[in-house]
Amino acid sequence: MALSLVKNAQDRLSTDHFGRPMRGVEEVGSTNERAAQWAAKGAPEGATVLTEYQTTGRGRHGREWTAEKGRNLLFSVVLRPGLSPDRFGLLTVAAGVAVAEAVETVVSPHSALLKWPNDVLLEDRKTCGILLESSLAPPDADAVVVLGVGLNVNQSDFPASLADTATSLRLAAGRPVPRPPLLAQVLQSLERRYEAVRTGDAASVRAAFRTRLASLGATRTLHAPGTDEALTGTVQGITETGALRLRTADGTVTEVHAGDVTSQN
């Protein structure tokens, strides 16, 4: 199934690099891990690994990512951005914008919104998680970034732990969603927003992110990963480099570079 999905998407692909080449594997530990291995052996920018099922799918902050076999889009793209690591936060938000735009073409009139840094939400539930992982490069080499996308497409049942917070395109659209054209569309959109950041037009990405930021102007509590620390404030938007700006009760504006927006007031 993975191979026919790849083949059908490739027939519709209009990208320059993303999804070229694209490998389909029926089952894998994690496509991010497999893509990193491929990158270490010289995979070019845009090389993509797609699977129908992950046994050890990875989420942000060391969490696991689970997805039903054969119903979703689970893939990772090798990037060689040639950017300083302090710009990687922009790649993170660009990926969220790109997937939201592609998703919206399928679920319209529903809007796809974003929860910082890049969860894609439909009707306030998460339909896509995105994980960027970078490997340290020797001084003379550019870092490799692996961009992993877990998009819930046709899954209708979720484990109890996700039942109240997860959704899929199928649930939002009220009909099954063909995956090959969607994959081609997501790759196209990712390439476009990635190129914008890489070539210095991050302003357009930040503007697009802001219009989709679900919590803009609302009060949110942000939890630092792996700690009990929390910060509550009004969401102001994002900084030049993609960090979240929160205004706390005393009027201070704080920039947060990593964390989970896990509760709301």
Counting residues that bind ligand BTN (by CB under 6 A) gives 19
Print the binding letters for residues 117-136 with ligand BTN: x by CB under 6 A, - otherwise. Answer: --x---------xxx-----
Which two three-digit tokens encode residue 236?
Answer: 């102001």
Record the tokens describing residue 68, joined without a space.
Answer: 């039903």
Q: Residue 45 or 119: which CB sits closer to ligand BTN? A: 119
Closest CA to 192 of 75, 103, 107, 97: 97
Q: In this chain, which of 10, 48, 76, 127 binds ligand BTN, going by CB under 6 A?
A: 76
Shortest Cβ 233–ligand BTN spacing (Å): 22
Residue with nearest beta carbon to ligand BTN: 129
| Residue placing its CB nearer to ligand BTN in the complex, 59 or 247 | 59
Torsion of the alpha carbons at 167, 206, 88 and 82, rounded to the nearest 10: 120
For the chain, the distance separating the N- and C-terminal CA atoms, rounded to the nearest angstrom, is 44
Residue 72 or 188: which CB sits closer to ligand BTN? 72
How is residue 64 annotated by DSSP?
Answer: B
Give the phi and the psi of residue 73 in degrees, each rounded to 5. Answer: -115, 115
* Of 21, 83, 74, nearest in space to 46 by CA: 21
Please report whether residue 181 would count as binding ligand BTN according to CB under 6 A: no
Q: Considering the rule CB under 6 A, would residue 60 count as an interface residue with ligand BTN?
A: yes
Q: Which residues bind ligand BTN (CB under 6 A)?
A: 30-32, 54, 57-60, 63, 65, 74, 76, 119, 129-131, 148-150
